[in-house]
Structure 1
Amino acid sequence: MRGLGADEVIDYTTTPDFSSVAGDLDIVFETVGAYAGQAVAALRPGGTLVATLAQSLPPVAEPVAEPAARRGVRTAALLVESDRLGLTELVRLVEDGLLTPTVAATYPLGQAGAAQSTRSGPGKTVLTVD
């Protein structure tokens, strides 16, 4: 995570409530769907909680709306849908060396079932077509 630019890394397996060690944050991107409450607690007044999962929309983190309002935390949603323009731009960023994808594992297309059922760690699982 430090290689991706994180100043501080919190291991969720040893610190299940990250708000107990992180606080006064400006923004939290909630990408899992289970940590909105902790995010609100870790944000400074005026901070922003952004939910990025489809099941969080709309409204964003409804169960935390009241605590967020009490703390002066703004909530927002971000749903990205793949489209040709966006994917083309991602390819350009990778080709220009401005974006480095993290690949956890690579499988031939014929092993797609195995690829789907195997947890490979951080990064994306890639299927190759020959």
Structure 2
Amino acid sequence: MRALTQDRYGWEHLRVGEVPDPEPGQGQVLVKVRAAGVNPYDWHYATGQPLVARAMMGTFTGPRPLVRGADLSGVVVAAGPGVTQYAPGDEVFGFGTGGTFAELALAEVGSIARRPVDLTHVEAAAMPMAAVTALQYLRAAELRAGQHIAITGAGGGIGHFAVQIAAAWGAEVTGVCGPRNAAMVRELGASEVIDYTKDDVTAGERRFDVVFTNAGRYSLRALGRVVVPGGLVLANDGSREGLLGPMPELMTAPLVSRMRPYRILNVSATTSGEDLGVLEGLVADGVLLPIVSATYPLERAVDAIRQVAGHGHARGKLVVTIS
């Protein structure tokens, strides 16, 4: 099968080529991939940044698995031993195991769900990592109807899902984004939009119960200034490179929380099939819609990953189409 592979860190080591077809093991299905979402996760693996995370990515010199990609939407072509939930022909979306920028990919049955009938494969592939992350952060915040939440990076992958989910839960949403995304963010449910090129959300008089930061544009200390006493800063910023990336700020967050009148929370998102089902319900209810700003064929998957590197892309999601 064709796949985007990489044996060493660095853009020059990413290439599309032939690799053996994977075979499903216990509790796995083999999926014919129709589309695969692109995430900042992919450029971290492509570049090996931040350096401190290489031990979790594979080895110090190269990532594992060899095939890039995590999100998928496609059709089950084979089921491994012990699998009763899915059969060949079932259309699914979710998280792959062993790489998804490929014609075929493996997936654990607990990390996928049936494709929402109202979404195309391209739209469904845009959801797993970004939408599940948004859902799990907002759930950890115990966001309630009537609360005021500011979401930075509101036009991006996680951000545009967070705006919709928060609004669906009855929160008053302030979206912070650039001017080209302002109309989109408002249409997705934000009651207020702040253009960061004109106004600094951390310098105003407005106060929020929750601030959910995604773009890495603001320090946690600055965001803490606009949180009400006892409020919460949801810290999700993986955009920094270097030796430690965002780790110093995130590691000191618990200490800062004890010294400040607000809390700072970082959530380790999980590949939950149950949460994919929750998202499918929101799609069915008409309150959640993936925004896909561009698609790329497999041969141009590297270009798509480059677009999400750092601050390079900030409008909905990019998706790689396979077949």
Q: State the TM-score, normalizing by the size of structure 1.
A: 0.74
User: Could you tell me how far apart the structure 1 residues matched to 2:227 and 2:320 are?
Assistant: 38
User: Could you tell me how far apart the structure 2 residues matched to 1:81 and 1:59 are?
Assistant: 22
Q: Where do 1:1-130 residues align within 5 Å? A: 1-15=185-199, 17-35=200-218, 36-53=220-237, 55=246, 57-60=250-253, 65=256, 69-70=259-260, 72-118=261-307, 119=312, 121-130=314-323
Percent sequence identity is: 34
RMSD, matched Cα: 2.7
User: Could you tell me how far apart the structure 1 residues matched to 2:201 and 2:285 are?
Assistant: 35
Task: Return the structure number with greater relative CO, CA threshold 8 A, min gap 6.
Answer: 2
Structure 1 residues without counterparts, runs of 5 or longer: none
Between stretches 114-123 and 39-48, larger displacement belongs to 114-123
Number of residue pairs matched by the alignment: 125
Residues 92 and 108 of structure 1, relative CA distance in 2, 3 Å threshold:
farther
- Tell me by how many angstroms 1:93 deviates: 3.4
Greater helix proportion = 1
User: Could you tell me how far apart the structure 1 residues matched to 2:271 and 2:278 are?
Assistant: 11
Are 1:112 and 1:127, in contact at CA under 8 Å, matched by a contact in 2? yes
- Tell me by how many angstroms 1:87 deviates: 3.1
- 3-state SS, counterpart of residue 100 of structure 1: coil
* Paired letter, 2:202: S
Structure 2 residues without counterparts, runs of 5 or longer: 1-184, 239-245
* Paired letter, 1:124: K
Between stretches 119-128 and 35-44, larger displacement belongs to 119-128
- Tell me by how many angstroms 1:122 deviates: 0.9
- Partner of residue 133, structure 2: none
Are 1:106 and 1:126, in contact at CA under 8 Å, matched by a contact in 2? yes
- Tell me by how many angstroms 1:95 deviates: 4.6
